[in-house]
Protein backbone atom coordinates (compact mmCIF):
# COMPACT_ATOMS: atom_id res chain seq x y z
CA UNK A 1 0.00 0.00 0.00
CA UNK A 2 1.32 3.45 -0.91
CA UNK A 3 0.78 5.81 1.99
CA UNK A 4 0.89 9.61 1.68
CA UNK A 5 3.13 9.67 4.76
CA UNK A 6 5.47 7.08 3.27
CA UNK A 7 8.92 8.38 2.32
CA UNK A 8 8.72 6.49 -0.96
CA UNK A 9 5.59 8.42 -1.88
CA UNK A 10 6.98 11.79 -0.76
CA UNK A 11 10.40 11.52 -2.44
CA UNK A 12 9.68 9.18 -5.36
CA UNK A 13 6.13 8.85 -6.58
CA UNK A 14 4.90 12.41 -5.99
CA UNK A 15 7.85 14.34 -7.51
CA UNK A 16 8.13 11.94 -10.48
CA UNK A 17 4.39 12.20 -11.11
CA UNK A 18 4.39 16.02 -10.85
CA UNK A 19 7.26 16.25 -13.35
CA UNK A 20 5.49 13.90 -15.77
CA UNK A 21 2.18 15.70 -15.25
CA UNK A 22 3.52 19.15 -16.02
CA UNK A 23 5.71 17.99 -18.91
CA UNK A 24 2.53 16.65 -20.51
CA UNK A 25 0.71 19.19 -22.71
CA UNK A 26 -2.32 20.57 -20.84
CA UNK A 27 -4.77 18.91 -23.24
CA UNK A 28 -3.47 15.44 -22.32
CA UNK A 29 -2.85 15.84 -18.58
CA UNK A 30 -6.00 13.88 -17.74
CA UNK A 31 -4.34 10.90 -19.46
CA UNK A 32 -1.27 11.30 -17.24
CA UNK A 33 -3.50 11.62 -14.17
CA UNK A 34 -5.34 8.43 -15.12
CA UNK A 35 -2.15 6.43 -15.79
CA UNK A 36 -0.49 7.68 -12.61
CA UNK A 37 -3.60 6.96 -10.53
CA UNK A 38 -3.96 3.42 -11.90
CA UNK A 39 -0.27 2.77 -11.19
CA UNK A 40 -0.68 4.16 -7.68
CA UNK A 41 -3.65 1.89 -7.01
CA UNK A 42 -2.06 -1.20 -8.59
CA UNK A 43 1.01 -0.88 -6.37
CA UNK A 44 -1.21 -0.50 -3.31
CA UNK A 45 -3.74 -3.24 -4.09
CA UNK A 46 -3.09 -5.34 -7.18
CA UNK A 47 -5.92 -7.77 -6.27
CA UNK A 48 -8.43 -4.93 -6.04
CA UNK A 49 -7.22 -3.35 -9.28
CA UNK A 50 -9.48 -5.58 -11.39
CA UNK A 51 -12.49 -4.54 -9.30
CA UNK A 52 -11.69 -0.85 -9.70
CA UNK A 53 -11.06 -1.21 -13.44
CA UNK A 54 -14.28 -3.14 -14.03
CA UNK A 55 -16.31 -0.67 -11.97
CA UNK A 56 -14.85 2.24 -13.96
CA UNK A 57 -15.77 0.71 -17.34
CA UNK A 58 -19.26 -0.40 -16.26
CA UNK A 59 -20.07 2.96 -14.68
CA UNK A 60 -18.78 4.87 -17.69
CA UNK A 61 -20.99 2.84 -20.07
CA UNK A 62 -24.06 3.27 -17.89
CA UNK A 63 -23.28 6.96 -17.43
CA UNK A 64 -23.10 7.36 -21.20
CA UNK A 65 -26.55 5.78 -21.54
CA UNK A 66 -28.03 7.79 -18.66
CA UNK A 67 -26.59 11.04 -19.98
CA UNK A 68 -28.20 10.57 -23.37
CA UNK A 69 -31.49 8.89 -22.46
CA UNK A 70 -32.23 10.08 -18.88
CA UNK A 71 -33.94 6.77 -18.10
CA UNK A 72 -34.72 6.35 -14.41
CA UNK A 73 -34.54 2.55 -14.54
CA UNK A 74 -30.95 2.76 -15.83
CA UNK A 75 -30.02 4.99 -12.91
CA UNK A 76 -31.72 2.64 -10.43
CA UNK A 77 -29.99 -0.38 -11.94
CA UNK A 78 -26.43 0.97 -11.86
CA UNK A 79 -26.89 2.43 -8.38
CA UNK A 80 -28.05 -0.99 -7.18
CA UNK A 81 -25.06 -2.65 -8.88
CA UNK A 82 -22.62 -0.22 -7.22
CA UNK A 83 -24.28 -0.54 -3.82
CA UNK A 84 -24.40 -4.33 -4.00
CA UNK A 85 -20.73 -4.42 -4.99
CA UNK A 86 -19.86 -2.41 -1.88
CA UNK A 87 -22.08 -4.53 0.40
CA UNK A 88 -20.74 -7.78 -1.03
CA UNK A 89 -17.10 -6.90 -0.47
CA UNK A 90 -17.77 -5.58 3.03
CA UNK A 91 -19.51 -8.84 3.98
CA UNK A 92 -16.81 -10.97 2.36
CA UNK A 93 -14.04 -9.08 4.12
CA UNK A 94 -15.81 -9.39 7.47
CA UNK A 95 -16.96 -13.00 7.39
CA UNK A 96 -14.67 -14.76 4.89
CA UNK A 97 -11.28 -13.06 4.49
CA UNK A 98 -10.43 -9.46 5.31
CA UNK A 99 -8.17 -9.02 2.30
CA UNK A 100 -11.14 -9.42 -0.05
CA UNK A 101 -12.11 -5.76 0.26
CA UNK A 102 -10.41 -3.55 -2.34
CA UNK A 103 -8.72 -0.48 -0.89
CA UNK A 104 -10.91 2.62 -1.05
CA UNK A 105 -14.01 0.82 -2.38
CA UNK A 106 -16.27 2.78 0.00
CA UNK A 107 -15.00 6.04 -1.49
CA UNK A 108 -14.82 5.31 -5.21
CA UNK A 109 -18.22 3.59 -5.09
CA UNK A 110 -19.83 6.71 -3.63
CA UNK A 111 -18.11 8.79 -6.31
CA UNK A 112 -19.61 6.56 -8.98
CA UNK A 113 -23.12 6.75 -7.51
CA UNK A 114 -23.00 10.56 -7.26
CA UNK A 115 -21.72 10.72 -10.85
CA UNK A 116 -24.68 8.70 -12.14
CA UNK A 117 -27.20 10.71 -10.10
CA UNK A 118 -25.73 14.04 -11.22
CA UNK A 119 -25.80 12.92 -14.86
CA UNK A 120 -29.46 11.96 -14.54
CA UNK A 121 -30.39 15.24 -12.82
CA UNK A 122 -28.51 17.34 -15.37
CA UNK A 123 -25.91 18.66 -12.90
CA UNK A 124 -23.11 17.71 -15.29
CA UNK A 125 -23.15 20.05 -18.28
CA UNK A 126 -21.34 18.04 -20.94
CA UNK A 127 -21.26 14.30 -21.39
CA UNK A 128 -17.73 13.42 -20.23
CA UNK A 129 -15.38 11.25 -22.23
CA UNK A 130 -13.90 8.02 -20.91
CA UNK A 131 -10.52 9.48 -19.92
CA UNK A 132 -12.06 12.31 -17.86
CA UNK A 133 -14.56 9.97 -16.22
CA UNK A 134 -11.99 7.30 -15.38
CA UNK A 135 -9.50 9.88 -14.07
CA UNK A 136 -12.22 11.33 -11.84
CA UNK A 137 -13.17 7.93 -10.43
CA UNK A 138 -9.64 6.85 -9.55
CA UNK A 139 -7.57 10.05 -9.15
CA UNK A 140 -4.86 9.02 -6.71
CA UNK A 141 -5.19 11.86 -4.15
CA UNK A 142 -8.73 10.67 -3.37
CA UNK A 143 -9.13 7.04 -4.40
CA UNK A 144 -8.02 5.52 -1.09
CA UNK A 145 -9.78 7.61 1.57
CA UNK A 146 -11.58 10.46 -0.17
CA UNK A 147 -12.60 13.24 0.06
CA UNK A 148 -15.62 12.43 -2.11
CA UNK A 149 -15.30 15.14 -4.74
CA UNK A 150 -18.28 15.71 -7.05
CA UNK A 151 -17.67 15.57 -10.78
CA UNK A 152 -18.81 19.20 -11.11
CA UNK A 153 -15.92 20.18 -8.81
CA UNK A 154 -13.54 17.95 -10.76
CA UNK A 155 -14.47 19.91 -13.90
CA UNK A 156 -13.34 23.14 -12.22
CA UNK A 157 -9.70 22.08 -12.55
CA UNK A 158 -7.22 24.50 -14.07
CA UNK A 159 -4.38 22.92 -16.00
CA UNK A 160 -1.76 25.65 -15.57
CA UNK A 161 0.60 26.32 -18.46
CA UNK A 162 2.96 29.08 -17.31
CA UNK A 163 5.92 28.24 -15.06
CA UNK A 164 4.84 30.89 -12.57
CA UNK A 165 1.34 29.43 -12.19
CA UNK A 166 2.64 25.86 -11.96
CA UNK A 167 5.23 26.63 -9.27
CA UNK A 168 2.71 28.75 -7.35
CA UNK A 169 0.18 25.88 -7.32
CA UNK A 170 2.80 23.32 -6.26
CA UNK A 171 4.08 25.62 -3.52
CA UNK A 172 0.61 26.31 -2.13
CA UNK A 173 -0.33 22.64 -2.28
CA UNK A 174 2.85 21.75 -0.41
CA UNK A 175 1.81 24.08 2.42
CA UNK A 176 -1.38 22.14 3.03
CA UNK A 177 0.38 18.82 2.45
CA UNK A 178 3.08 19.62 5.02
CA UNK A 179 0.59 20.77 7.65
CA UNK A 180 -1.41 17.57 7.17
CA UNK A 181 1.78 15.50 7.32
CA UNK A 182 2.66 17.11 10.65
CA UNK A 183 -0.80 16.37 12.06
CA UNK A 184 -0.47 12.73 11.00
CA UNK A 185 3.15 11.99 11.90
CA UNK A 186 3.75 14.15 14.96
CA UNK A 187 0.31 14.09 16.57
CA UNK A 188 -1.95 11.25 15.41
CA UNK A 189 0.77 8.59 15.31
CA UNK A 190 1.99 9.45 18.83
CA UNK A 191 -1.55 9.55 20.22
CA UNK A 192 -2.04 6.14 18.64
CA UNK A 193 0.74 4.83 20.88
CA UNK A 194 -1.22 5.80 24.00
CA UNK A 195 -4.39 4.17 22.68
CA UNK A 196 -2.40 1.01 21.83
CA UNK A 197 -0.82 1.00 25.30
CA UNK A 198 -4.29 1.10 26.86
CA UNK A 199 -5.29 -1.91 24.77
CA UNK A 200 -2.13 -3.73 25.82
CA UNK A 201 -2.87 -3.15 29.52
CA UNK A 202 -6.40 -4.47 28.99
CA UNK A 203 -9.57 -2.40 29.14
CA UNK A 204 -10.72 -4.19 32.30
CA UNK A 205 -7.46 -3.28 34.08
CA UNK A 206 -7.10 0.47 33.48
CA UNK A 207 -8.10 3.16 35.96
CA UNK A 208 -11.14 5.36 35.39
CA UNK A 209 -9.01 8.52 34.81
CA UNK A 210 -6.96 6.64 32.18
CA UNK A 211 -10.17 5.41 30.54
CA UNK A 212 -11.37 9.01 30.12
CA UNK A 213 -7.93 10.10 28.90
CA UNK A 214 -8.07 7.22 26.42
CA UNK A 215 -11.46 8.35 25.09
CA UNK A 216 -10.09 11.85 24.54
CA UNK A 217 -6.89 10.42 23.06
CA UNK A 218 -8.68 8.25 20.49
CA UNK A 219 -10.98 11.14 19.51
CA UNK A 220 -8.00 13.39 18.89
CA UNK A 221 -6.03 10.63 17.14
CA UNK A 222 -8.91 9.98 14.73
CA UNK A 223 -9.43 13.71 14.14
CA UNK A 224 -5.82 14.61 13.36
CA UNK A 225 -5.22 11.40 11.43
CA UNK A 226 -8.14 11.98 9.08
CA UNK A 227 -7.91 15.79 8.98
CA UNK A 228 -4.19 15.40 8.30
CA UNK A 229 -4.92 12.98 5.46
CA UNK A 230 -7.62 15.32 4.08
CA UNK A 231 -5.20 18.27 4.06
CA UNK A 232 -2.57 16.18 2.30
CA UNK A 233 -5.08 14.95 -0.30
CA UNK A 234 -6.44 18.47 -0.84
CA UNK A 235 -2.88 19.81 -1.06
CA UNK A 236 -1.98 17.32 -3.79
CA UNK A 237 -5.17 18.33 -5.60
CA UNK A 238 -4.12 21.98 -5.44
CA UNK A 239 -0.71 21.04 -6.90
CA UNK A 240 -2.56 19.50 -9.86
CA UNK A 241 -4.86 22.49 -10.41
CA UNK A 242 -8.00 21.23 -8.63
CA UNK A 243 -10.02 23.33 -6.17
CA UNK A 244 -9.23 22.83 -2.48
CA UNK A 245 -11.73 20.40 -0.93
CA UNK A 246 -12.72 21.30 2.64
CA UNK A 247 -13.36 18.01 4.44
CA UNK A 248 -13.05 19.22 8.04
CA UNK A 249 -14.26 22.59 9.28
CA UNK A 250 -13.42 22.78 12.99
CA UNK A 251 -16.06 20.22 14.06
CA UNK A 252 -15.29 20.45 17.78
CA UNK A 253 -16.35 24.09 17.79
CA UNK A 254 -19.85 23.04 16.66
CA UNK A 255 -22.85 23.98 18.81
CA UNK A 256 -24.46 20.53 18.61
CA UNK A 257 -23.96 17.08 17.12
CA UNK A 258 -25.95 17.86 13.97
CA UNK A 259 -23.57 20.72 13.21
CA UNK A 260 -20.60 18.56 14.23
CA UNK A 261 -21.36 16.10 11.44
CA UNK A 262 -21.83 18.86 8.90
CA UNK A 263 -18.26 19.90 9.72
CA UNK A 264 -16.71 16.43 10.24
CA UNK A 265 -15.90 14.52 7.01
CA UNK A 266 -18.01 17.13 5.23
CA UNK A 267 -17.78 15.50 1.80
CA UNK A 268 -19.31 12.28 3.16
CA UNK A 269 -21.97 14.15 5.14
CA UNK A 270 -23.03 16.19 2.12
CA UNK A 271 -23.10 12.98 0.03
CA UNK A 272 -25.55 11.35 2.44
CA UNK A 273 -27.63 14.55 2.50
CA UNK A 274 -27.84 14.94 -1.28
CA UNK A 275 -28.18 11.31 -2.37
CA UNK A 276 -30.07 9.64 0.49
CA UNK A 277 -31.65 12.12 2.91
CA UNK A 278 -33.11 14.57 0.35
CA UNK A 279 -34.36 11.85 -2.06
CA UNK A 280 -36.17 10.29 0.94
CA UNK A 281 -37.96 13.60 1.46
CA UNK A 282 -35.40 15.41 3.58
CA UNK A 283 -36.96 17.90 5.98
CA UNK A 284 -39.89 18.76 3.73
CA UNK A 285 -42.07 15.96 5.10
CA UNK A 286 -43.83 15.24 8.41
CA UNK A 287 -41.86 14.92 11.63
CA UNK A 288 -42.44 11.18 11.62
CA UNK A 289 -40.94 10.86 8.16
CA UNK A 290 -38.01 13.10 9.10
CA UNK A 291 -37.39 10.82 12.07
CA UNK A 292 -37.41 7.78 9.77
CA UNK A 293 -35.19 9.49 7.18
CA UNK A 294 -32.59 10.30 9.82
CA UNK A 295 -32.71 6.72 11.08
CA UNK A 296 -32.11 5.35 7.57
CA UNK A 297 -29.20 7.74 6.96
CA UNK A 298 -27.43 6.87 10.19
CA UNK A 299 -27.97 3.13 9.84
CA UNK A 300 -26.39 3.31 6.37
CA UNK A 301 -23.59 5.52 7.73
CA UNK A 302 -22.82 2.94 10.40
CA UNK A 303 -22.85 0.10 7.86
CA UNK A 304 -20.68 2.11 5.47
CA UNK A 305 -17.95 2.20 8.11
CA UNK A 306 -18.23 -1.52 8.88
CA UNK A 307 -20.60 -4.45 9.31
CA UNK A 308 -19.64 -5.28 12.89
CA UNK A 309 -22.10 -4.53 15.68
CA UNK A 310 -20.12 -1.62 17.09
CA UNK A 311 -20.48 0.42 13.89
CA UNK A 312 -24.23 -0.18 13.70
CA UNK A 313 -24.52 0.70 17.39
CA UNK A 314 -22.42 3.83 16.80
CA UNK A 315 -24.71 4.95 13.98
CA UNK A 316 -27.83 4.33 16.08
CA UNK A 317 -26.47 6.31 19.03
CA UNK A 318 -25.58 9.28 16.81
CA UNK A 319 -29.12 9.08 15.40
CA UNK A 320 -30.62 9.16 18.91
CA UNK A 321 -28.55 12.20 19.88
CA UNK A 322 -29.43 14.09 16.69
CA UNK A 323 -33.13 13.15 17.02
CA UNK A 324 -33.07 14.45 20.61
CA UNK A 325 -31.49 17.71 19.47
CA UNK A 326 -34.04 18.12 16.68
CA UNK A 327 -37.30 16.98 18.28
CA UNK A 328 -36.87 17.47 22.04
CA UNK A 329 -34.62 20.48 22.66
CA UNK A 330 -36.43 23.08 20.47
CA UNK A 331 -39.51 24.37 22.26
CA UNK A 332 -39.27 21.91 25.14
CA UNK A 333 -36.02 22.98 26.82
CA UNK A 334 -35.00 26.59 27.62
CA UNK A 335 -32.76 28.05 24.92
CA UNK A 336 -29.77 28.65 27.23
CA UNK A 337 -29.94 25.10 28.60
CA UNK A 338 -30.34 23.73 25.07
CA UNK A 339 -27.11 25.44 24.02
CA UNK A 340 -25.28 23.94 27.01
CA UNK A 341 -26.63 20.48 26.21
CA UNK A 342 -25.50 20.85 22.59
CA UNK A 343 -21.95 21.72 23.63
CA UNK A 344 -21.87 18.86 26.17
CA UNK A 345 -23.00 16.48 23.45
CA UNK A 346 -20.09 17.56 21.24
CA UNK A 347 -17.37 17.64 23.88
CA UNK A 348 -18.44 14.68 26.06
CA UNK A 349 -20.77 12.38 24.13
CA UNK A 350 -18.89 12.50 20.83
CA UNK A 351 -15.64 11.15 22.41
CA UNK A 352 -17.69 8.40 24.08
CA UNK A 353 -19.22 7.43 20.74
CA UNK A 354 -15.72 7.23 19.25
CA UNK A 355 -14.90 4.58 21.86
CA UNK A 356 -17.79 2.52 20.45
CA UNK A 357 -16.44 3.23 16.98
CA UNK A 358 -12.95 2.02 17.98
CA UNK A 359 -13.68 -1.23 19.83
CA UNK A 360 -15.31 -3.93 17.68
CA UNK A 361 -15.29 -6.62 20.38
CA UNK A 362 -18.49 -6.25 22.43
CA UNK A 363 -16.93 -7.72 25.58
CA UNK A 364 -14.01 -5.31 25.34
CA UNK A 365 -16.40 -2.42 24.73
CA UNK A 366 -18.41 -3.34 27.81
CA UNK A 367 -15.24 -3.58 29.90
CA UNK A 368 -14.14 -0.14 28.72
CA UNK A 369 -17.42 1.49 29.67
CA UNK A 370 -17.28 -0.22 33.06
CA UNK A 371 -13.98 1.55 33.62
CA UNK A 372 -15.40 4.86 32.35
CA UNK A 373 -18.34 4.50 34.74
CA UNK A 374 -17.06 2.12 37.47
CA UNK A 375 -20.33 2.26 39.42
CA UNK A 376 -21.94 0.24 36.59
CA UNK A 377 -19.73 -2.79 37.00
CA UNK A 378 -16.82 -4.39 38.78
CA UNK A 379 -13.24 -3.91 37.80
CA UNK A 380 -10.07 -2.97 39.58
CA UNK A 381 -7.24 -1.05 37.96
CA UNK A 382 -3.93 -2.89 37.97
CA UNK A 383 -2.36 0.44 38.86
CA UNK A 384 -4.74 3.17 40.06
CA UNK A 385 -2.17 5.86 39.22
CA UNK A 386 -1.51 4.57 35.69
CA UNK A 387 -2.87 7.80 34.23
CA UNK A 388 -0.04 9.80 35.88
CA UNK A 389 2.64 7.78 34.11
CA UNK A 390 0.85 8.02 30.76
CA UNK A 391 0.24 11.74 31.09
CA UNK A 392 3.95 12.12 31.73
CA UNK A 393 4.72 10.33 28.47
CA UNK A 394 1.91 11.59 26.23
CA UNK A 395 0.66 14.72 28.01
CA UNK A 396 2.55 17.05 25.67
CA UNK A 397 0.95 15.53 22.58
CA UNK A 398 -2.51 15.73 24.19
CA UNK A 399 -1.93 19.37 25.12
CA UNK A 400 -0.84 20.34 21.60
CA UNK A 401 -3.81 18.47 20.10
CA UNK A 402 -6.24 20.28 22.41
CA UNK A 403 -4.69 23.66 21.59
CA UNK A 404 -5.04 22.95 17.87
CA UNK A 405 -8.79 22.44 18.37
CA UNK A 406 -9.06 26.23 18.68
CA UNK A 407 -10.59 27.26 15.33
CA UNK A 408 -8.76 30.59 15.18
CA UNK A 409 -5.37 28.90 14.79
CA UNK A 410 -6.16 27.16 11.51
CA UNK A 411 -7.95 30.20 10.14
CA UNK A 412 -4.86 32.27 10.96
CA UNK A 413 -2.75 29.73 9.04
CA UNK A 414 -5.11 29.88 6.05
CA UNK A 415 -4.95 33.67 5.87
CA UNK A 416 -1.19 33.94 6.38
CA UNK A 417 0.15 30.67 4.95
CA UNK A 418 2.09 32.47 2.19
CA UNK A 419 3.95 34.69 4.64
CA UNK A 420 7.73 34.02 4.66
CA UNK A 421 7.64 33.14 8.38
CA UNK A 422 5.12 30.37 7.72
CA UNK A 423 7.19 29.18 4.77
CA UNK A 424 10.22 28.75 7.06
CA UNK A 425 8.17 27.07 9.79
CA UNK A 426 6.59 24.65 7.32
CA UNK A 427 10.04 23.87 5.87
CA UNK A 428 11.26 22.97 9.36
CA UNK A 429 8.08 20.99 10.09
CA UNK A 430 8.52 19.00 6.88
CA UNK A 431 12.05 17.87 7.76
CA UNK A 432 11.07 17.05 11.35
CA UNK A 433 8.36 14.80 9.90
CA UNK A 434 10.85 13.20 7.52
CA UNK A 435 13.24 12.55 10.40
CA UNK A 436 10.40 11.01 12.43
CA UNK A 437 9.30 8.83 9.50
CA UNK A 438 12.84 7.65 8.85
CA UNK A 439 13.00 6.31 12.41
CA UNK A 440 9.58 4.66 12.46
CA UNK A 441 7.85 1.81 10.67
CA UNK A 442 5.01 4.06 9.51
CA UNK A 443 1.37 3.90 10.52
CA UNK A 444 -1.30 3.73 7.77
CA UNK A 445 -4.11 6.27 7.86
CA UNK A 446 -7.02 5.02 9.96
CA UNK A 447 -9.64 5.49 7.24
CA UNK A 448 -7.77 3.19 4.83
CA UNK A 449 -9.74 0.29 6.32
CA UNK A 450 -13.07 1.76 5.24
Q: How far is CA 203 from CA 60, 211, 220, 272, 355, in A?
A: 48, 8, 19, 34, 11
- Whether 306 maps to a domain, the answer reads yes
Question: How high is the pLDDT of residue 96?
Answer: 81
Residue 80 burial (C-beta neighbours within 10 Å; 0-12, 13-18, 19+): exposed
Q: How far apart are CA 350 and CA 127, in angstroms?
A: 42
- Whether 345 maps to a domain, the answer reads yes
Q: How far apart are CA 361 and CA 199, in angstroms?
A: 12
**pLDDT higher than threshold 90 for residue 161:** no
- Higher-pLDDT residue of 340 and 331 is 340
In 3D space, the residue among 32, 78, 383, 47 whose CA is nearest the CA of residue 202 turns out to be: 383
Give the side-chain half-sphere CA count within 13 A for 422: 17
> Using CA of residue 162, residue 164, residue 168, residue 174, what is the dihedral sign?
positive
**pLDDT higher than threshold 60 for residue 445:** no
Q: How far apart are CA 288 and CA 413, in angstroms?
A: 44
- Tell whether omega for the bond before 316 is within 30 degrees of 0, i.e. cis: no
Q: How far is CA 223 from CA 112, 124, 192, 251, in A?
A: 26, 33, 11, 9
Of 198-207, 430-439, 441-450, the one with minimum mean pLDDT is 441-450
Same domain, 108 and 209: no
Same domain, 92 and 127: yes
- Whether 69 maps to a domain, the answer reads yes
**pLDDT higher than threshold 70 for residue 6:** yes
Same domain, 135 and 261: no
Question: How high is the pLDDT of residue 232?
Answer: 97
- Whether 265 maps to a domain, the answer reads yes
Q: Which band of pLDDT confidence, cut at 50, 70 and 90, is reported for residue 67?
A: confident
* Three-state secondary-structure class, residue 76: helix
Question: How high is the pLDDT of residue 255?
Answer: 95
**pLDDT higher than threshold 60 for residue 447:** no
Please check whether residue 275 is in contact with residue 117, taking contact to mean a CB–CB distance below 8 angstroms.
yes
Question: How high is the pLDDT of residue 306?
Answer: 87
Same domain, 175 and 145: no
**pLDDT higher than threshold 60 for residue 378:** no
Q: How far apart are CA 427 and CA 421, in angstroms?
A: 10
Of 159, 176, 193, the residue at which a domain comes to its end is 159
Of 159, 180, 209, the residue at which a domain comes to its end is 159
Question: pLDDT tens digits, residue range 199-223?
Answer: 999 998 999 999 999 999 999 999 9
Question: How high is the pLDDT of residue 125?
Answer: 76
Region 43-57 average pLDDT: 94
User: Is 190 assigned a catalytic role?
Assistant: no
- Whether 428 maps to a domain, the answer reads yes
Question: pLDDT tens digits, residue range 404-434?
Answer: 999 899 999 999 999 999 999 999 999 999 9
**pLDDT higher than threshold 80 for residue 449:** no
Percentage of residues of the chain with pLDDT beyond 70? 96
Same domain, 52 and 172: no
Please check whether residue 144 is in contact with residue 103, taking contact to mean a CB–CB distance below 8 angstroms.
yes
From 190, 265, 305, 419, the catalytic residue: 305
Instruction: Round the average pLDDT of the chain to a whole number and report it.
Output: 92
Region 7-18 average pLDDT: 95
**pLDDT higher than threshold 90 for residue 52:** yes
Of 159, 179, 196, the residue at which a domain comes to its end is 159
DSSP 243: P
Angle made by CA atoms 47, 239, 33, in degrees to the nearest 5: 40
Q: Which band of pLDDT confidence, cut at 50, 70 and 90, is reported for residue 376?
A: low
What is the span of the domain harbouring residue 18?
7-159
Region 385-399 average pLDDT: 93
Same domain, 224 and 137: no
Region 373-385 average pLDDT: 72
Same domain, 151 and 192: no
Question: How high is the pLDDT of residue 70?
Answer: 77
**pLDDT higher than threshold 70 for residue 441:** no
Question: How high is the pLDDT of residue 129?
Answer: 93
Q: Output b/e per residue, 196-213; b: 16+ Cβ within 10 A.
A: ebbeebebbbbbbbbbbb
Region 379-387 average pLDDT: 76
- Whether 419 maps to a domain, the answer reads yes
Same domain, 322 and 431: yes
Please check whether residue 149 is in contact with residue 142, taking contact to mean a CB–CB distance below 8 angstroms.
yes
- Whether 115 maps to a domain, the answer reads yes
Same domain, 106 and 180: no
Region 20-32 average pLDDT: 95
Same domain, 193 and 326: yes
Same domain, 122 and 195: no
Q: Output b/e per residue, 387-403; b: 16+ Cβ within 10 A.
A: beebbeebeebbeebee
Please check whether residue 115 is in contact with residue 199, taking contact to mean a CB–CB distance below 8 angstroms.
no
Question: pLDDT tens digits, residue range 105-123?
Answer: 999 999 999 999 999 998 9
Q: How far apart are CA 190 and CA 196, in angstroms?
A: 10
**pLDDT higher than threshold 90 for residue 167:** yes
Q: How many domains does the chain have?
A: 2
**pLDDT higher than threshold 60 for residue 446:** no
Same domain, 221 and 342: yes
Residue 174: how many other CB atoms lie within 10 Å: 20
- Whether 2 maps to a domain, the answer reads no
Question: pLDDT tens digits, residue range 296-314?
Answer: 999 999 999 988 899 999 9
Amino acid sequence: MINFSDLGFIFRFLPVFLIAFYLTPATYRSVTLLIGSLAFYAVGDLKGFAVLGTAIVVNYLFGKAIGSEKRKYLLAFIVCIDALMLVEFKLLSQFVYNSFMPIGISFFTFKMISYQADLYMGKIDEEPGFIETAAYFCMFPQVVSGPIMRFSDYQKKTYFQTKEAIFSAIEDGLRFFTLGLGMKVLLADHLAMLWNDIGTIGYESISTPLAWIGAACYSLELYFDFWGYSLMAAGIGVMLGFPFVVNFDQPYSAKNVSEFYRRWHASLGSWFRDYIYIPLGGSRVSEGRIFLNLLVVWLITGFWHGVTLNFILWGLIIFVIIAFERFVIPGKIPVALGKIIGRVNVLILIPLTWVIFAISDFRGLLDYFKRLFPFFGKGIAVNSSDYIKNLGIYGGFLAVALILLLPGLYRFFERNRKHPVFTVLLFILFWICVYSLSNAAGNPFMYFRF
